[in-house]
């Protein structure tokens, strides 16, 4: 069965600094998709970044980038120049693309002014 | 609509009461998902629709949970005879064609069973 593990329940970062959130997953599939979602107190899950497993190049979206290590089944999120608005729960998610998204337990990110 | 809309945003139910939670997905989205999110946890899959067909309901925790999407757009998640352990946020998401496209989430319904 596919699983997604986030081993950091909570992380803190100083404003303008860089932080990395960890995610590992387990799957026997070769084709799949990985996501990082942000969930602020409003509860709305917002897509931060997406990575296709068949792509070797790491995805980047402005201040957000990933380190995708397929062999190690690792998918970490790096947030550069952290801003107060980045404070939220961050969830790593996996899907084979058929339908079911499997989520990790989340990492709460605190940004310190 | 512009986004996924869920109603109500908050629901307090007495134990044993039936509840119905509504999800209005993004227009044209084929796929619709329901997730249950307990406090401090990640979303757990409940069920999936492709148009009006419920293709997977393996995540529904008991036969008290029932979901439908009769016309392939709006979906309703119904919980009969609510129990305290049903207290959670229920998230709905929709997406377009397959291939790992982004799932767009609603703001969820927070259900509290007292």
Find the helix or strand (DSSP H, E) in which A92 lies: strand A88-95
Instruction: Say if the Cβ atoms of A97 and B98 lie within 8 Å.
Output: yes
* Model pLDDT, residue A82: 97
> What pLDDT shows up at residue A40?
92
Taking alpha carbons only, the member of A109, A49, A31, A110 closest to residue B99 is A31
Q: Contact, A37 vs A48, CB < 8 A? A: yes
Closest CA to B49 of B19, B23, B75, B79: B75
The pLDDT value recorded for residue B99 is 56
Interface test with B, best of A6, A33, A41, A100 (most B CBs within 10 A): A100
Contact check, Cβ <8 Å, A103/B43: yes
> What mean pLDDT comes out for the span B87-93?
96
The tens digit of pLDDT for each residue in A17-74 reads: 999 999 999 999 888 999 999 999 888 899 999 999 998 899 999 999 999 999 999 9
Does the pLDDT of residue B103 top 80, yes or no? yes
Quote the DSSP letter at residue B40: T
Check B100 against A105: CB less than 8 A apart.
no
B107 → chain A, closest CA residue: A44
User: Residue A26: in which H helix or E strand, if any?
Assistant: strand A24-26
Q: What is the average per-residue pLDDT within B91-111?
A: 85
- Burial class of residue A34 in the structure, from the number of CB atoms within 10 Å of its CB (0-12 exposed, 13-18 middle, 19+ buried): buried
What integer pLDDT is reported at residue B100 of this predicted model? 61
Read off the pLDDT of each residue in A3-25 and give the average, rounded to a whole number: 97
Nearest to B42 among A32, A50, A106 (CB): A106
Shortest distance between the Cα of B94 and any Cα of chain A, in A, equals: 10
pLDDT in tens, B45-85: 999 999 999 999 999 999 999 999 999 999 999 999 999 99
User: Across the A/B interface, how many CB contacts are shorter than 8 Å?
Assistant: 63
Strands A10-14 and A107-112: parallel
Q: What is the pLDDT of residues B7-54, one digit of tens each?
A: 999 999 999 999 999 999 999 999 999 999 998 899 999 999 999 999
- Cα separation, A89 vs A41, whole angstroms: 8
Q: What's the confidence (pLDDT) of residue B102?
A: 81
Determine, for residues B48 and A91 on separate chains, whether the beta-carbon distance falls below 8 Å: no
Q: Encoding tokens for residue B74? A: 């709006």
What do you get for the CA distance between the two ends of chain B, in Å? Answer: 33
B75: tokens are: 């979906």
Instruction: State yes or no: pLDDT of B1 exceeds 90.
Output: no
Contact B107 A43 (CB under 8 A): yes
């Amino acid at each position: 069965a596919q699983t997604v593990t986030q081993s950091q329940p909570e992380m803190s970062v100083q404003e303008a600094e860089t932080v990395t959130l960890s995610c590992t997953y387990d799957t026997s599939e070769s084709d799949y998709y990985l996501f990082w979602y942000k969930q602020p107190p409003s509860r709305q899950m917002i897509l931060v970044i997406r990575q296709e497993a068949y792509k070797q190049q790491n995805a980047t979206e402005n201040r957000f980038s990933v380190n995708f290590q397929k062999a190690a089944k690792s998918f970490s999120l790096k947030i550069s120049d952290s801003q107060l608005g980045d404070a939220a729960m961050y969830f790593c998610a996996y899907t084979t693309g058929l339908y079911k998204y499997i989520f990790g337990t989340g990492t709460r990110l605190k940004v310190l002014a | 609509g512009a986004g996924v809309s869920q109603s109500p945003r908050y629901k307090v139910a007495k134990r044993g009461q039936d509840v119905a939670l509504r999800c209005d997905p993004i227009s044209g989205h084929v796929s619709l998902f329901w997730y249950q999110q307990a406090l401090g946890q990640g979303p757990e899959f409940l069920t999936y629709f492709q148009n009006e067909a419920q293709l997977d309901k393996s995540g529904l925790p008991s036969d008290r949970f029932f979901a439908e999407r009769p016309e392939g757009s709006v979906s309703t998640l119904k919980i009969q005879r609510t129990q305290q352990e049903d207290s959670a946020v229920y998230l709905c998401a929709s997406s377009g064609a397959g291939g790992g496209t982004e799932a767009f989430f609603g703001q969820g319904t927070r259900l509290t069973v007292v």
